[in-house]
């Protein structure tokens, strides 16, 4: 890829940016010595193992092994090609790359299907929006939305539309524009009849809400039935473009404001998000169904520290708040809950009481997730009855036991004690017992996981020669003179295959006249595993004032490795000879081993 864009242009983009600024758009980073640390965006973790080096302009996760420079980070996090990553980063600088126009066209032509699907969704959205806003067919839908407080500004901002009650309104429109109906069926816009394979509209007599992916590309629709049809809400089926587990409604627009506030408000769906936006909440996002996925939770954690859940107040809404709150808390978010009166959803509340009261009395009065849990377990129980009361207390104690902070645990234990006039000491003892049981269970699970991993993965020892190879590669990445010396002394005779490959790439890199630049070098490695290993070594702290003796010691370990390997083979032969009672041969082999060890010692 890099050969298709002038190398000097890529270098200009790289030098114009700081990787810390780029990564900070996705990960909450904190200064730790010379580097910055945060939770890895590529795998779930609670303890930061993701490190970013401003000096080396590299990132590396010591947990999952992900690593690279600013370009590879954007490629990985945004799931884009190298050219798209260059374009995204170039747009943040004053560097202009005319070649990108031609390259973008080439990239687009290589994926005509995705381009066609995006274009079809955009055209469908414009058509539905036109029908809603200016046609007679959309009159009933317009009146319905006006009655629910949807202004023209809201309808235009969210590109809301209306699909007429017709079996071929959209399919006919797309056919005239030469779209393949088979592809449109795969994209979820039309269906194909079994009898004659003719296309028909999937959405009929529905108010249409476009759904965008993280990059702001339209990938699906949500349709709310206008009259008495079923189901009330219908989303596009999952497709190559649309994966509900990776998408949150309005995320692409709300994200800058979420990051600015380090907070988001999570709603159940698009109608609540839109109503909240009307009420002035510009950092609201919505699920496409009540169950959040771990991918969505991690996506939020990369951008914010705190989230407020504002779901319906019915039984299903409470259950979803509890389940999703646990998931969000487990990925490291501070979770709060905005409670609504019984029977209300956010849209209902805003229409009945207005935006000001929704903000002041609901969002600003949000409670901690633990306070919500008190309410959650109280629902459906008669706490005057002894059985219900004991079950409630046991449930709350289990939840308190999962809290990591001692002060927080003490606070809620006191609350529980006050509520039922219980002994605080008795509650503490019970809670400590539950914590010990949970800790033992966790230790058993960790031990089992470790044992399983050990059983599956062979033990890997790091002999002296391998440590020497690691140190030499790390040094070579930062010093042309050391690389030249190593090349002269051992050339490609590294015994670890990956290090041999990286060394060859380093020799080639300096041979092309480049100066030491780990970020630039790593960008040229196309193999992801090699790139990860090279990044890990580049992030190592190296001794730039290495003495000649230390360098020669590393080289000596590699020079002597074949001899050590030969000695190991001789030891095996010696043991076999002894087992066969051939003690004369065993003695000769032993003498040979002693001689070889002496030679190694003298060198």
Q: What is the pLDDT of residues 193-205, one digit of tens each?
A: 988 889 999 999 9
pLDDT score of 361 more than 90: yes
**Buried b / exposed e across 277-300, counting CB within 10 Å, b at 16+?**
bbbebbbbbbbbebebbeebbbbb
Q: What is the mean pLDDT of the chain?
A: 85
d(CA 317, CA 523): 47
Where are the extended beta strands (E) located within 276-377? 284-286, 306-309, 334-337, 367-368
d(CA 471, CA 466): 9
Report pLDDT for 2: 41
Mean pLDDT lowest among 237-246, 438-447, 460-469 = 438-447
Please give the residue that has the higher pLDDT: either 569 or 266: 266
d(CA 169, CA 208): 14
Measured N-to-C along each axis, helices 480-489 and 497-511 cross at an angle, to the nearest 10 degrees, of: 120
Report pLDDT for 370: 94
Contact indicator for 306, 262 with CB cutoff of 8 Å: yes
Residue corresponding to tokens 């009672």: 581
Report pLDDT for 177: 93
Closest CA to 120 of 50, 196, 185: 185
What digits encode the pLDDT tens for the residues 309-354? Answer: 999 988 889 999 999 999 999 888 899 999 999 888 899 999 999 9
d(CA 223, CA 241): 18
d(CA 238, CA 78): 20
Q: How far is CA 421 from the centre of its chain?
A: 46
Average pLDDT over residues 452-465: 55
Contact indicator for 400, 417 with CB cutoff of 8 Å: no
Residue corresponding to tokens 């031609």: 102
Helix (H) or strand (E) holding 201: strand 199-201
**The tokens of 363 are what?**
């969002």
Please state, in angstroms and as integers, the Cα–Cα distance from residue 505 to each residue in 229, 419, 517, 531, following that order: 63, 69, 13, 11
pLDDT score of 101 more than 70: no
Give 184's pLDDT tier (boundaries 50, 70, 90). very high
pLDDT score of 384 more than 50: yes
Cβ neighbour number for residue 353 with a 10 Å cutoff = 15
């Amino acid at each position: 890829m890099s050969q298709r864009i002038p190398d000097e242009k890529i270098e200009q983009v790289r030098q114009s940016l700081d990787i810390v600024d780029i990564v900070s758009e996705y990960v909450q980073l904190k200064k730790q010595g010379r580097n910055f640390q945060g939770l890895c965006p590529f795998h779930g973790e609670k303890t930061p193992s993701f490190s970013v080096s401003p000096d080396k302009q590299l990132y590396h996760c010591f947990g999952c092994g992900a690593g690279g420079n600013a370009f590879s980070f954007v490629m990985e996090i945004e799931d884009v090609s190298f050219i798209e990553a260059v374009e995204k980063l170039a747009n943040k600088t004053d560097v202009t790359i005319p070649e990108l126009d031609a390259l973008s066209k080439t990239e687009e032509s290589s994926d005509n299907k995705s381009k066609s699907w995006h274009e079809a969704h955009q055209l469908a959205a414009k058509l539905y929006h036109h029908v809603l806003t200016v046609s007679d067919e959309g009159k009933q839908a317009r009146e319905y939305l006006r009655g629910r407080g949807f202004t023209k500004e809201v309808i235009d901002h969210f590109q809301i539309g209306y699909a007429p009650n017709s079996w071929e309104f959209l399919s006919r429109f797309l056919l005239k524009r030469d779209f393949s109906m088979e592809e449109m069926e795969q994209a979820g816009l039309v269906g194909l009849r079994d009898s004659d394979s003719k296309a028909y509209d999937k959405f009929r007599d529905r108010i249409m809400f476009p759904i965008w992916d993280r990059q702001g590309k339209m990938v699906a629709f949500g349709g709310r039935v206008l009259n008495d049809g079923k189901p009330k809400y219908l989303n596009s089926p999952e497709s190559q473009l649309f994966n509900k587990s990776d998408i949150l409604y309005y995320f692409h627009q709300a994200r800058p404001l979420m990051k600015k506030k380090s907070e988001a408000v999570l709603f159940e769906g698009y109608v609540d998000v839109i109503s909240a936006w009307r009420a002035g909440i510009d950092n609201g996002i919505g699920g496409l169904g009540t169950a959040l996925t771990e991918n969505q939770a991690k996506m939020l954690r990369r951008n914010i520290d705190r989230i407020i859940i504002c779901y319906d107040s019915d039984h299903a809404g409470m259950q979803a708040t509890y389940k999703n709150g646990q998931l969000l808390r487990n990925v490291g978010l501070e979770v709060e809950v905005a409670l609504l009166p019984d029977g209300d959803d956010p849209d209902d509340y805003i229409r009945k009481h207005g935006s000001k009261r929704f903000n002041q009395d609901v969002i600003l009065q949000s409670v901690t997730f633990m306070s919500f849990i008190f309410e959650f377990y109280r629902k459906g129980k008669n706490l005057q009855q002894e059985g219900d009361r004991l079950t409630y207390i046991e449930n709350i104690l289990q939840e308190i036991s999962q809290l990591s902070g001692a002060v927080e645990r003490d606070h809620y234990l006191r609350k529980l004690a006050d509520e039922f006039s219980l002994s605080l000491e008795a509650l503490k003892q019970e809670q400590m017992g539950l914590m010990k049981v949970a800790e033992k269970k966790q230790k058993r699970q960790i031990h089992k996981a470790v044992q399983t991993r050990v059983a599956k993965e062979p033990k890997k020892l790091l002999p002296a020669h391998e440590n020497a190879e690691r140190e030499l590669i790390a040094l070579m990445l930062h010093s042309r003179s050391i690389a030249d010396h190593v090349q002269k002394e051992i050339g490609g005779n590294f015994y670890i295959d990956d290090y041999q490959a990286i060394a060859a790439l380093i020799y080639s890199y300096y041979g092309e006249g480049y100066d030491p630049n780990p970020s630039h070098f790593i960008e040229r490695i196309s193999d992801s595993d090699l790139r990860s290993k090279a990044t890990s070594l580049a992030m190592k702290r190296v001794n730039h004032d290495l003495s000649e003796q230390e360098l020669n010691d590393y080289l000596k370990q590699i020079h002597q490795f074949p001899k050590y390997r030969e000695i190991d083979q001789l030891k095996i032969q010696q043991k076999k000879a002894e087992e066969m009672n051939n003690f004369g041969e065993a003695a000769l082999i032993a003498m040979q081993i002693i001689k070889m060890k002496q030679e190694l010692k003298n060198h």
